[in-house]
Structure 1
Amino acid sequence: MTDGLPEEDETVLVRREGRVGRLTLNRPRALNALTHAMVSRLDAALTEWEGDPSVRTVLIDGAGERGLCAGGDIRAIYEDARTGGTASPAFWRDEYRLNARIARLPGPYVAFMDGIVMGGGVGVSAHGNVRIVTERSQVAMPETGIGLVPDVGGTYLLSRAPGELGTHLALTGAAVGAADAILCGLADHCVPSGRLPVLAAELAATDAPVAVRRHATAPPEGELAADREWIDTCYAADSVEEIVDRLFACGHHAAKQAAETILTKSPTALKATLAALRTARESATLEEVLEAEYRASCAALRTPDLVEGIRAQVIDKDRMPRWQPGDLELVTEKDVARFSAAPPGGDLGPAGRE
Structure 2
Amino acid sequence: MHRPVRRLCVMFNHLRVAVPYSTTSQMVDEVILQRIQDCGVITLNRPKSLNALNLSMIRKIMPQMTEWEKDPAMNLVIIKGTGGKAFCAGGDIIAVTEAGKLGGDLAKDFFREEYILNNKIGTYKIPFVAFIDGITMGGGVGLSVHGQYRVATERTVFAMPETGIGLFPDVGGGYFLPRLGGKLGVFLALTGYRLKGRDVQKAGVATHFIQSSKMQALEEALLKLPDPKSRDVARTLDRFQTESTDIPDTDFSLRDHMGEINRLFDGDTVEQIFENLRKEGSEWSLKQLEELKKKSPVSMKITLQLLLEGQHKTLQEDLQVEYRLSQHCMEDKDFYEGVRALLKDKDNKPVWNPATLAGVTREHVNWYFSPLPPDRELKL
The alignment's TM-score, normalised by the length of structure 1, stands at 0.93
Partner of 1:45: 64
Q: Does 1:215 align with 2:240?
A: yes
Match of 2:348 among 316, 319, 322: 319
5+ long unaligned stretches in structure 1 = 1-6
Rounded to whole Å, the distance in 2 between the matches of 1:90 and 1:260 is 36
**Tell me, what secondary structure is at the counterpart of 1:111?**
strand
Equivalent residue pairs, number: 344
Rounded to whole Å, the distance in 2 between the matches of 1:76 and 1:17 is 34
CA contact (8 A) 1:166 1:184 kept: no
C-alpha displacement at 1:311, in angstroms?
Answer: 0.8
**Tell me, what secondary structure is at the counterpart of 2:87?**
strand
Instruction: Give, as a single letter, the amino acid of the residue that structure 2 aligns with 1:212.
Output: L
1:128-143 matched pairs, under 5 angstroms: 128-143=147-162
* 61-70 vs 85-94, which moves further: 85-94
Partner of 1:4: none
Partner of 1:237: 267
Partner of 2:285: 255
5+ long unaligned stretches in structure 2 = 1-24
Partner of 2:15: none
Partner of 1:340: 369
**Tell me, what secondary structure is at the counterpart of 1:247?**
helix
Rounded to whole Å, the distance in 1 between the matches of 2:162 and 2:62 is 24
1:88-146: CA deviations, max 9, x gaps? 11111111011111111122100011110001100000010111001111111111111
Instruction: Give, as a single letter, the amino acid of the residue that structure 1 aligns with 2:235.
Output: V
CA contact (8 A) 2:142 2:172 kept: yes
Rounded to whole Å, the distance in 2 between the matches of 1:147 and 1:22 is 34
1:299-319: CA deviations, max 9, x gaps? 111111111000111111111
Q: Does 1:195 align with 2:214?
A: yes
Percent identical residues: 39
Q: Does 1:287 align with 2:306?
A: no
**Tell me, what secondary structure is at the counterpart of 2:358?**
helix
CA contact (8 A) 1:294 1:347 kept: no
1:138-197: CA deviations, max 9, x gaps? 111111111112111011010111110000000011111233322333110000011101
1:4-153 matched pairs, under 5 angstroms: 9-153=28-172
Partner of 2:174: 155
**Tell me, what secondary structure is at the counterpart of 1:61?**
strand
Cα distance 1:129–1:149, how it changes in 2: closer, same or farther (>3 A)? same
Match of 1:277 among 307, 316, 327: 307
Rounded to whole Å, the distance in 2 between the matches of 1:307 and 1:204 is 43
1:53-82: CA deviations, max 9, x gaps? 332110001111211011110110120222
Instruction: Give, as a single letter, the amino acid of the residue that structure 2 aligns with 1:53.
Output: P
* 75-84 vs 325-334, which moves further: 75-84
The alignment's TM-score, normalised by the length of structure 2, stands at 0.87
C-alpha displacement at 1:223, in angstroms?
Answer: 1.5
Instruction: Give, as a single letter, the amino acid of the residue that structure 2 aligns with 1:267.
Output: P
1:158-197 matched pairs, under 5 angstroms: 158-197=177-216
**Tell me, what secondary structure is at the counterpart of 1:160?**
helix
CA contact (8 A) 2:100 2:106 kept: no
Match of 1:302 among 322, 331, 338: 331
Rounded to whole Å, the distance in 2 between the matches of 1:318 and 1:148 is 18
CA contact (8 A) 1:177 1:222 kept: no
Match of 2:256 among 217, 226, 232: 226
CA contact (8 A) 1:158 1:184 kept: no
Rounded to whole Å, the distance in 1 between the matches of 2:219 and 2:116 is 26
Rounded to whole Å, the distance in 2 between the matches of 1:69 and 1:332 is 35
CA contact (8 A) 1:158 1:277 kept: yes
